[in-house]
C-alpha cells in the first residue's frame, strides 16, 4: 500500500485518515455491542460508563428460542450455499466452455435475478409456496435463497473457468483421466479462490436476507433477522435484547470476513481480469 | 515407433457450414492423404488457418474426423479414445497443470495408469534428463520461463512412451535465442528417442531444419509433401515456392519473347532479358505470360550481365541483400561480396538460368519441361 519513497508525513496523514474512517465505520458496531450490556433504564443515555449487566443475554438466550433461530439460519443459509455450489459450479462450467444457443441470454437472465427487489416477487411466491406446501419449510427457504446466492456464484466461478485453458483439460484427457478426476484434480484447485470467496459472500448475503424469510416462513422456522423483530413488544422496545440478537447474528459474518478478507479481495478481483 | 497414415481425411466445422452454406472451401482440412514412415520426423507447414493444427488434433483425437481414415500401425484409430491411441501431444501454449509441481505434471499420466510410486519415480528420472528438466522438478509451472515450460510440456508427452509424438507449434512462443536452442534439442531428442514425430509449424526454417519430410498446406489443401530438399528445389506451385526459403523466391510476371530464334523471359517495361533454358523451349510459346521464379542466390553479380539499379541495400554482416528493380518488378538477391553498395548504384546481374522455375500465371502450378 505504501511505497518506499513516500515521505513520513504523507504516510502519517494517510494512516490518520484511515483510522478516523475506521472509527466512523465501526462505531455503530461498537455501540451495538455496548448497549447489550446496558439495562433498559440506561438505554437512552449516551454515557460510556455504566454498570454492565448480563440480563439482556439471559433474556435472549434463555428466555426465548433465539438459539433455535440461529441454528435455523445456519441450516437455511448453509444449505442455500451448498445447493448453489453443487448446481452453480457445473452451470458456470457450461457457460464458460460450451457454445449453445442463447448462452449469453441465459447467463444474463441468471444475473438479472439479482436486479429485481425481493419484494417484487414475494407475493406470487407466497401463493405458490402455500400451494406447494413449501411455506415455512427448510427446503422452501433454501430454494428461494438461490435467487440470492446462485447468480453471484455462477458469475464469479464462470470467470475463473474461462481463464483456464481448454488445453489443460485436453491434456488431462490425453493422460487418460475421466472427466471427474480432471475436474477434481485440475479444475477445482484452480477455481478454488473464486469459489471460496463467492460462496462465503453468498453465505453472508443469505444470512442477512430478511424479506424472504419474513414472508415465506415464520412459525416453524425463523431466521435471526426476523427473530430480532420479536423484541419490539407491545408496550416497549427492548433495545438491549434486540442488540444482543443482532450482535450474535453479526458475529459469524464478522469472524468469516476477518478470516477470508484476503481471499475475498483476491478471489473476487482476480478471476475476471487475470488473463 | 509407428507408422501414421492419413487417408482422404476431411474436416469441417459445423458452425462454418451454417454460415457459408457448406461450400468445398469451407473444409478446414480437405482430402488430406499422407503417410509418415516409422521413425520419421514430419513437419506440417503452412500459414495460420491452413488446417495444420486441426490435422494434428484429429490424429490426437481431440477433433472428430468428418470423413476419411487415420491409421497408426495399420490400426484404424478414428474412433479410438485419445488415451488409447499411443500418442504424446505437446500443446502449443504448454497446458501444464498449474496446481501441480513439474514432477507431478510429468507423473500425472503414470498415475492414471496406476503405476507404483517407485516405478513412477524411476520413469520420471529416466525421461527428465532427455529434456534437461531435472532441476525444475520441484517447481510449479508459474515459476518457469517459456522455454522451461515447453521442455516440461514435451517431457510430459514423452513420459507416455508414445508411438507417435505430436508437437503443436512448440517453438512459436519462444524468443529467438531460446527457439534456436530448443530446435537443436528437438533434433537431438528425435535421434535419441527415435519415435515418429510430427511437428506443426508456420515457420519454414523450423520445418526445413527439423523434418525428414515436409507437408505444406494451404486453405486445408495439401500443396506438396516431400523432403526439405524436394520442396526447396522443386516446388510444385507458386505458393510452395514463395513459402519456402528466406528471403523468399523472387516471383515475377514475365513475357516470353523471341529474338534470333532464341526464347527469352522479358521483364515488362525493361530491356532485361533472360534466356529460356533449352528444356523449356518446347512447352513455352512466344507471347505467353508466366510467373518466373528465381531464388535470391541464383541471381549473380557479373561483369557481363545486364545493368540494373539498386533500390534497397541491406548489410546483414555475413551476407548482403540487394533489392533491385527491373522495370516494374522488384527482385532480391543475396551476395557475400564484400563491396558495399548504396541505393541508386548500377550493378550488372546474371541469372542461373538452369535454376529458374516457371509457373502458370493462372493456376500457379509449375510448368515442367
pLDDT digits (tens, 9 = 90+) for B50-81: 899 999 999 999 888 999 999 999 899 999 98
Band of residue A273 on the pLDDT scale cut at 50, 70, 90: very low
User: Is A2 a domain residue?
Assistant: no
CB–CB contact B108 A189 (8 Å): no
Average pLDDT, whole number, for chain B? 89
Residues of A in contact with B112 (CB under 8 A): 175-177
Residues of the domain holding A17: 8-56
CA atoms within 13 Å, Cβ hemisphere of A32: 15
Average pLDDT over residues A11-18: 94
Nearest to B108 among A165, A175, A190 (CB): A175
* CA distance linking residue B234 with residue B249, whole number of Å: 12
* CA distance linking residue B144 with residue B140, whole number of Å: 7
Res A275: pLDDT: 36
CB–CB contact A190 B99 (8 Å): yes
CA–CA distances in Å: residue B76 to residues A33, A83, B89, B277: 75, 45, 19, 48
Q: Is pLDDT of B1 > 70?
A: no
Regarding whether A111 and A179 lie in a shared domain, the answer is: yes
Q: Is pLDDT of B131 > 90?
A: no
Residues of A in contact with B99 (CB under 8 A): 186, 189-190
Res A5: pLDDT: 63
**SS3 call for B330:** strand
Average pLDDT over residues B126-155: 90
Regarding whether A15 and A147 lie in a shared domain, the answer is: no
User: Is A47 a domain residue?
Assistant: yes
Regarding whether A78 and A30 lie in a shared domain, the answer is: no
Map A9-76 to HEC letters. Answer: HHHHHHHHHHHHHHHHHHHHHHHHHHHCCCCCCCCCCCCCCCCCCCHHHHHHHHHCCHHHHHHHHHHH
Res A4: pLDDT: 60
User: Is A180 a domain residue?
Assistant: yes
pTM of the model: 0.78
Nearest to A175 among B98, B99, B109 (CB): B109
User: Is A273 a domain residue?
Assistant: no
User: Is A262 a domain residue?
Assistant: yes
Q: Is pLDDT of A83 > 90?
A: yes
Regarding whether A103 and A214 lie in a shared domain, the answer is: yes
Band of residue A257 on the pLDDT scale cut at 50, 70, 90: confident
Nearest to B83 among A167, A168, A176 (CB): A176
CB–CB contact B96 A176 (8 Å): no
* CA distance linking residue B93 with residue B153, whole number of Å: 9
Which residues of A fall below an 8 Å CB-CB distance to B? 99, 165, 167-168, 170-177, 185-186, 189-190
Regarding whether A148 and A25 lie in a shared domain, the answer is: no
Residues of B in contact with A165 (CB under 8 A): 93, 95
Res A272: pLDDT: 43
Regarding whether A95 and A35 lie in a shared domain, the answer is: no
Regarding whether A27 and A67 lie in a shared domain, the answer is: no
Picking from B14, B60, B89, B91 by the largest number of A CB atoms within 10 A of its own CB, the best residue to mutate is B91
CATH code of A207's domain: 1.10.3720.10
The domain tally of chain A equals 2
Residues of B in contact with A167 (CB under 8 A): 91-93, 95
Residues of A in contact with B96 (CB under 8 A): 168, 171
Number of H helices, E strands in chain A: 12, 0
Radius of gyration of chain A (CA): 23
Regarding whether A241 and A181 lie in a shared domain, the answer is: yes
Q: Is pLDDT of B208 > 90?
A: yes
Q: Is pLDDT of A120 > 60?
A: yes
* CA distance linking residue A227 with residue A206, whole number of Å: 15
Regarding whether A94 and A202 lie in a shared domain, the answer is: yes
Nearest chain A residue to B90 by CA distance is A171
What would the pLDDT profile of B312-368 be if each residue is shown by its tens digit?
Answer: 999 998 889 999 998 888 999 998 888 888 898 999 999 988 889 999 999 999 998
Res A269: pLDDT: 67
What would the pLDDT profile of B240-296 be if each residue is shown by its tens digit?
Answer: 999 998 899 999 999 999 988 888 999 888 888 888 888 888 888 888 999 999 999
Regarding whether A72 and A35 lie in a shared domain, the answer is: no
Average pLDDT over residues B30-45: 93
User: Is A131 a domain residue?
Assistant: yes
| Residues in contact with B93: Cβ distance below 8 Å, sequence separation at least 6, in sequence order | A165, A167, B173
Min Cα distance B98 → chain A (Å) is: 8
Res A139: pLDDT: 93
Average pLDDT over residues A101-106: 90
* CA distance linking residue B96 with residue B146, whole number of Å: 11
Regarding whether A68 and A51 lie in a shared domain, the answer is: no
Res B72: pLDDT: 92
Band of residue A92 on the pLDDT scale cut at 50, 70, 90: very high
Average pLDDT, whole number, for chain A? 86
Regarding whether A82 and A41 lie in a shared domain, the answer is: no
Amino acid at each position: 500500500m505504501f511505497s518506499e519513497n513516500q515521505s513520513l508525513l504523507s504516510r502519517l496523514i494517510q494512516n490518520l485518515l484511515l483510522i478516523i474512517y475506521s472509527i466512523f465505520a465501526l462505531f455503530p458496531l461498537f455501540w451495538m455491542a455496548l448497549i447489550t450490556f446496558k439495562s433498559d433504564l440506561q438505554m437512552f443515555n449516551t454515557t460510556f460508563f455504566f454498570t454492565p449487566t448480563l440480563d439482556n443475554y439471559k433474556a435472549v438466550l434463555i428466555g426465548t428460542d433465539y438459539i433455535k433461530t440461529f441454528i435455523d439460519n445456519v441450516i437455511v443459509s448453509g444449505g442455500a450455499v451448498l445447493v448453489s455450489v453443487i448446481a452453480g459450479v457445473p452451470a458456470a462450467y457450461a457457460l464458460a466452455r460450451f457454445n449453445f444457443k442463447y448462452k449469453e441470454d441465459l447467463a444474463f437472465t441468471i444475473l438479472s435475478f439479482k436486479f429485481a427487489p425481493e419484494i417484487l416477487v414475494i407475493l406470487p411466491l407466497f401463493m405458490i409456496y402455500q400451494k406447494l406446501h413449501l411455506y415455512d419449510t427448510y427446503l422452501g427457504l433454501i430454494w428461494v435463497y438461490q435467487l440470492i446466492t446462485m447468480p453471484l456464484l455462477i458469475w464469479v466461478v464462470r470467470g475463473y473457468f474461462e481463464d483456464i485453458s481448454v488445453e489443460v483439460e485436453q491434456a488431462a484427457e490425453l493422460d487418460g483421466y475421466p472427466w471427474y478426476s480432471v475436474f477434481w484434480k485440475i479444475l477445482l484447485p484452480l477455481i478454488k479462490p473464486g469459489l471460496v470467496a463467492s460462496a462465503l459472500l453468498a453465505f453472508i448475503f443469505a444470512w442477512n436476507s430478511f424479506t424472504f424469510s419474513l414472508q415465506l416462513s415464520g412459525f416453524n422456522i425463523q431466521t435471526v433477522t426476523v427473530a430480532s423483530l420479536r423484541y419490539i413488544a407491545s408496550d416497549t422496545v427492548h433495545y438491549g435484547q434486540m442488540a444482543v440478537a443482532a450482535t450474535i447474528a453479526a458475529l459469524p459474518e464478522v469472524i468469516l470476513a476477518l478470516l477470508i478478507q484476503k481471499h475475498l479481495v483476491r478471489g473476487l478481483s482476480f478471476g475476471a481480469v487475470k488473463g | 515407433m509407428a507408422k501414421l497414415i492419413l487417408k482422404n481425411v476431411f474436416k469441417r466445422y459445423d458452425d462454418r457450414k451454417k454460415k457459408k452454406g457448406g461450400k468445398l472451401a469451407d473444409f478446414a482440412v480437405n482430402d488430406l492423404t499422407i503417410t509418415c514412415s516409422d521413425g520419421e520426423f514430419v513437419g506440417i507447414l503452412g500459414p495460420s488457418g491452413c488446417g495444420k493444427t486441426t490435422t494434428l488434433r484429429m490424429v490426437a483425437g481431440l477433433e472428430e474426423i468428418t470423413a476419411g481414415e487415420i491409421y497408426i500401425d495399420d490400426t484404424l484409430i478414428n474412433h479410438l479414445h485419445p488415451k488409447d491411441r499411443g500418442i504424446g501431444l505437446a500443446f502449443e501454449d504448454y497446458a501444464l497443470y498449474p496446481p501441480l509441481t513439474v514432477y507431478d505434471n510429468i507423473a500425472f499420466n503414470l498415475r492414471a495408469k496406476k503405476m507404483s510410486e517407485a516405478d513412477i519415480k524411476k520413469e520420471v528420472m529416466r525421461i527428465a534428463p532427455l529434456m534437461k528438466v531435472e532441476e525444475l522438478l520441484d517447481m510449479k509451472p508459474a515459476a518457469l520461463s517459456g522455454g522451461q515450460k515447453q521442455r516440461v510440456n514435451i517431457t510430459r508427452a514423452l513420459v507416455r512412451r508414445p508411438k507417435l509424438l505430436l508437437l503443436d507449434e512448440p517453438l512459436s512462443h519462444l524468443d529467438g535465442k531460446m527457439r534456436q536452442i530448443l530446435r537443436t534439442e528437438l533434433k537431438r531428442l528425435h535421434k535419441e528417442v527415435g519415435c515418429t514425430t510430427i511437428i506443426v509449424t508456420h515457420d519454414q526454417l523450423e520445418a526445413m531444419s527439423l523434418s525428414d519430410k515436409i507437408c505444406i498446406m494451404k486453405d486445408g489443401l495439401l500443396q506438396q509433401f516431400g523432403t526439405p530438399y524436394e520442396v526447396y528445389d522443386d516446388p510444385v506451385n507458386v505458393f510452395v515456392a514463395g513459402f519456402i526459403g528466406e528471403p523468399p523466391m523472387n516471383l515475377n510476371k514475365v513475357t516470353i519473347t523471341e529474338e534470333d530464334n532464341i526464347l527469352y523471359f522479358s521483364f515488362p517495361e525493361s530491356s532485361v532479358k533472360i534466356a529460356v533454358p533449352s528444356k523449356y523451349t518446347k512447352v513455352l510459346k512466344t507471347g505467353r505470360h508466366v510467373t518466373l521464379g528465381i531464388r535470391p542466390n541464383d541471381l549473380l553479380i557479373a561483369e557481363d550481365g545486364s545493368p540494373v539499379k539498386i533500390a534497397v541495400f541491406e548489410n546483414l554482416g555475413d551476407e548482403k541483400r540487394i533489392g533491385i528493380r527491373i522495370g516494374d518488378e522488384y527482385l532480391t538477391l543475396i551476395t557475400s561480396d564484400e563491396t558495399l553498395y548504396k541505393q541508386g548504384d548500377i550493378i550488372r546481374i546474371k541469372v542461373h538460368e538452369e535454376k529458374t522455375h516457371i509457373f502458370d500465371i493462372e493456376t500457379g502450378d509449375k510448368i515442367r519441361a
